[in-house]
Homo-oligomer: A and B are copies of this chain.
Amino acid sequence: MGSPVIGVFDSGFGGLTVLKALLEVIPNAEYLYFGDTARLPYGSKSVETVARYACEATRYLEQQGAELLVIACNTATALAFDQIKNTASVAVVGVIEPGAERAAVSSRSGKVVVIGTEATTCSHAYRHALAAREVEAHEKACPLLVPLVEEGWVNHPVTEEIARIYLNEAFSDGFRSADVLLLGCTHYPLLKPVLQRAAPAGVTLVDSAESTAMAVRELLSSTLAMATRAKKDQVKFFVTDSTDKFRRLGRLFLGQEILDIAHVDLKE
Q: A147-B143, A148-B144 are in contact. Are A46 and B161 (CB under 8 A)?
A: no
Q: Does A90 have its Cβ within 8 Å of any Cβ on chain B?
A: no
* Closest beta carbon of chain B to A167's beta carbon, Å: 14
Q: Does A232 have its Cβ within 8 Å of any Cβ on chain B?
A: no
Chain A 194-245 interface residues, beta-carbon cutoff 8 Å to B: 240-242, 245
Kindly state the separation between the CA atoms of A241 and B45 in the bound complex, as whole angstroms: 7
* Closest beta carbon of chain B to A124's beta carbon, Å: 17
Q: Does A158 have its Cβ within 8 Å of any Cβ on chain B?
A: yes
Kindly state the separation between the CA atoms of A225 and B61 in the bound complex, as whole angstroms: 57
Chain A 12-53 interface residues, beta-carbon cutoff 8 Å to B: 37-40, 44-46, 48-49
* Chain B residue contacts of A158, Cβ below 8 A: 158, 161-162, 165
Q: Are B161 and A150 in contact (CB under 8 A)?
A: no
For A37, the closest partner residue in chain B by CB is B45
One digit per residue, 1 when the CB lies within 8 angstroms of any chain B CB and 0 when it does not, for chain A 139-169 equals 0000110111011010000100110010000
Number of copies: 2
Kindly state the separation between the CA atoms of A240 and B46 in the bound complex, as whole angstroms: 10
Q: A158-B165, A162-B158 are in contact. Are A46 and B144 (CB under 8 A)?
A: no
Contact of A241 among B46, B147, B162, B245 (CB under 8 A): B46
Kindly state the separation between the CA atoms of A147 and B240 in the bound complex, as whole angstroms: 22
Q: What is the interface of chain A mostly: helix, strand, loop, or mixed?
A: loop
Kindly state the separation between the CA atoms of A242 and B249 in the bound complex, as whole angstroms: 29
* Chain B residue contacts of A46, Cβ below 8 A: 38, 241-242, 245
* Chain B residue contacts of A146, Cβ below 8 A: 147
* Chain B residue contacts of A148, Cβ below 8 A: 144
Chain A 233-267 interface residues, beta-carbon cutoff 8 Å to B: 240-242, 245, 267
Q: Are B241 and A49 in contact (CB under 8 A)?
A: yes
* Chain B residue contacts of A162, Cβ below 8 A: 158
* Chain B residue contacts of A45, Cβ below 8 A: 37-38, 241-242
* Chain B residue contacts of A153, Cβ below 8 A: 144
Q: Are B143 and A151 in contact (CB under 8 A)?
A: yes
With most chain B CB atoms within 10 A of its CB, the pick from A45, A150, A165 is A45
Kindly state the separation between the CA atoms of A146 and B144 in the bound complex, as whole angstroms: 10
Kindly state the separation between the CA atoms of A252 and B74 in the bound complex, as whole angstroms: 28
Knowing that A37-B45, A144-B153, A147-B147 touch, tell me 10 more A-B residue pairs with CB under 8 angstroms: A38-B45, A38-B49, A46-B242, A48-B242, A49-B240, A49-B242, A143-B151, A144-B147, A146-B147, A158-B165
